[in-house]
Every structure is written in C-alpha cells, then in structure tokens.
Amino acid sequence: MKKSSTKKKMIMAAGAAAVIIVALMLVLRGCGEDTEETGETVQSAQTMTIEKTLSSEGEITSTLEENVEPHASYYLKKINVTEGDAVSEGDTILTYTNGYTMTAPYDCVIESWYLPDTGEQLTSEHYVTIAGTDVLQIELTVAEDEVLLLQKGATAQVSVEATGETYTGEVSYVSEQGTYSSGTSTFTAKVAFDNDGKLKLGMTGTAEISLEKAENVIGVPVSAVHITDGTSCVTVVSGDGTDLSETEEVEVETGVSNDSYIEIKSGLSEGDVVVIPASDDSEDGEQGEFPGSPGGGDMQMPGESDSGGGGHQPPGGQQ
C-alpha cells in the first residue's frame, strides 16, 4: 500500500510540473518570445513618442565662395599667400608696386587665383578665389518620400567627429528638382551653421533633422501593420493575449512612423496585444522588442528628451 501511494504522489507531482511548464510557455509567448511553429511574437500597444528624422553625412563647405578682383591698372609686386591658406579679415593677400595692398574682406581660405607675373599690370580679368569660413554648410541627399517633409528654415544638428562637437544650424536650401536613378529620385538640401573656429573646410559632418514627431500616442512596431485590400490592419490577440490561435484582424489608422515604430491614431488601445510576424532576415531576439529596449530606434517614452588695415580702402579689400 505504501508503494502504491508513493507512486501516485510521483505521478501527481509530474503532472503538476507539466502544467507549470505549459503555463510558463504561454506566459513567454505573451511576452514577445518566438513561437516554435511560426516565429511570430506578440507585443502590447503602448503610449510613446515617435519621431521621424533625416540623417545624412556630407562634406563641410563654405556658404560663400567668390572671386575678389584686384585693383585694375595697379602693378603686382607680391602675392602674400599660397593656395589653401586660411587668412583673417584684413590680412594682406596682394601687394602692389605703389605700396597699396589687397586684403581679405573676411575670414577665408585662399582657393586659387588668376594673376599676372610680378611687375606686370593687373586688369579686370584677374581675380583671387576665396571661400569664407565664418558660416559653413553641409550638403545632404534626401529621398523623395522625405523631401516634402523637409522645410527651409528647419532646425538641424550637425555632428563633427573631428572636433567632437555638435553645431545647431538650419536648412538653408531644398532643391525643387530631383535626380532620377534606378527607379527613384533623390533631392539635395543644405544645412548652414556657424563655425566655432575649430572647423576646416572639407571635414565630414552628419546632419540630423526632425521631419515629424508625435508625442504621447499609441504605437506598435512597424512590422505589426500590414495592408489588406488597401486598408491598414493589425492582428490582435484575443482574450488575455497569450493564445496566438485566438486572433482577429483590426483596421487601424496610422500616423507618424520611423524605422522602428508607427503611430496608431485609431483602432487600438494601450495594452492591446498585437502579433509581430516573423522576419525572414532577422536573427533570434530581433523581433518583438519592447519600447526602450535596444533597437528601439527613435522611439522615446514620455518624459524623455529626444536634443587691420586703416586708411583708404578701395573696393574688394584694396588699400
């Protein structure tokens, strides 16, 4: 009798353990873990801030490049600079035989020149090409689905690795005509910003511009939304959100999106559990990431922050 009782207790314990294991599997499925059958995951719709940004790397150049003409009819005595020199406002660029000079009209870099040999007369055809260094710019490439969101005057942040600094600028130019290639078009934009004295022409910078932003909205991963008969839909798990065999298609209205999350304007409430389809090119753990986890992109939870010469001076700096 004792052996029979002990055997029954062992069977009951094994059964209880099996029930616990099944329950744990269901809970894990509800927490965004992959299912063995489909690779799908689930995630709850949550309140968040979703921001779509444009980020582009480019070369830092001058916003002002011009040809400065020396004094016609004067004779050239000396070129006081070399190509590539950085000069300050008022520094001497050319010296004439009569003692006068041509000076830099502002802080700039000497790019090139077309001048006669020393001792010869200067004419209106001669010039020195300079590029200002006070206000700089970076040129961006913008995709056609983003250019309509980009407005002239928009604030931009320019990060320069060489100096370790971030500069605040603004969009100074957006092209009205794109360049078509491989089935799509790209546009050009420029961001202007002040030089703090550390930057050199030709350095590389990365500009980041906020295109649109939605705060305190319901959001889900972008991959949760699919198009059915031209309508945006999500698959919602019924009941307590643990059984993927109990789902329904729900029509939703979407809004702002970035690479990770998309705003749901209507159709879902906070806490609704949605299905995240398996990704063919994803690795384990990349699907079903929760807000605030690595890979969350530009999503933010509420409360977080996104962030010389005096005397007579002839035209063109002549003296």
The CATH number assigned to the domain holding 157 equals 2.40.30.170
Q: Please indicate, yes or no, whether residues 139 and 107 belong to a single structural domain of this protein.
A: no
Question: Which pLDDT value is given to residue 198?
Answer: 95
CB neighbours of 1 closer than 8 A, spacing ≥ 6? none
Across 155-169, 171-185, 276-290, 296-310, least confident range: 296-310
- Of the candidates 128, 104, 133, 131, the one whose C-alpha atom is nearest the C-alpha of residue 200 is 133
Q: Please indicate, yes or no, whether residues 206 and 141 belong to a single structural domain of this protein.
A: yes
Inform me whether the pLDDT recorded for 273 exceeds 90.
yes
What amino acid is encoded at 82 in this protein?
A: T
Domain-located, residue 253 = no
Question: Which pLDDT value is given to residue 10?
Answer: 46
Inform me whether the pLDDT recorded for 27 exceeds 90.
no
In the predicted model, what is the mean pLDDT of the chain? 82
Average pLDDT over residues 241-267: 91
Q: Give the CATH number of the domain where residue 110 resides.
A: 2.40.50.100
* Cβ contact 221:166 at 8 Å: no
Average pLDDT over residues 234-259: 88
Q: Higher pLDDT residue, 63 or 283?
A: 63
Confidence band for 76, pLDDT divided at 50, 70 and 90? very high
Average pLDDT over residues 2-8: 45
- Of the candidates 77, 79, 81, the one whose C-alpha atom is nearest the C-alpha of residue 120 is 77
Q: Please indicate, yes or no, whether residues 148 and 192 belong to a single structural domain of this protein.
A: yes
Domain-located, residue 33 = no
Domain-located, residue 46 = no
Domain-located, residue 205 = yes
Q: What is the extent of the structural domain holding 172? A: 54-61+134-213
* Cβ contact 111:65 at 8 Å: yes
pTM: 0.68
Confidence band for 303, pLDDT divided at 50, 70 and 90? very low
- Of the candidates 144, 143, 149, 199, the one whose C-alpha atom is nearest the C-alpha of residue 169 is 199
Question: Which pLDDT value is given to residue 281?
Answer: 53
Give the Cα separation of 41 and 83 in Å (integer): 61
Question: Which pLDDT value is given to residue 39?
Answer: 79
Q: Please indicate, yes or no, whether residues 79 and 144 belong to a single structural domain of this protein.
A: no
Task: Output phi, psi for 155, to 5 deg.
Answer: -75, 140
Inform me whether the pLDDT recorded for 231 exceeds 50.
yes
Inform me whether the pLDDT recorded for 120 exceeds 80.
yes
β-strands 184-194, 165-174 pairing: antiparallel
Average pLDDT over residues 282-307: 37
Inform me whether the pLDDT recorded for 140 exceeds 60.
yes
Looking at the structure of the chain, the number of domains it has is 2
Domain-located, residue 145 = yes
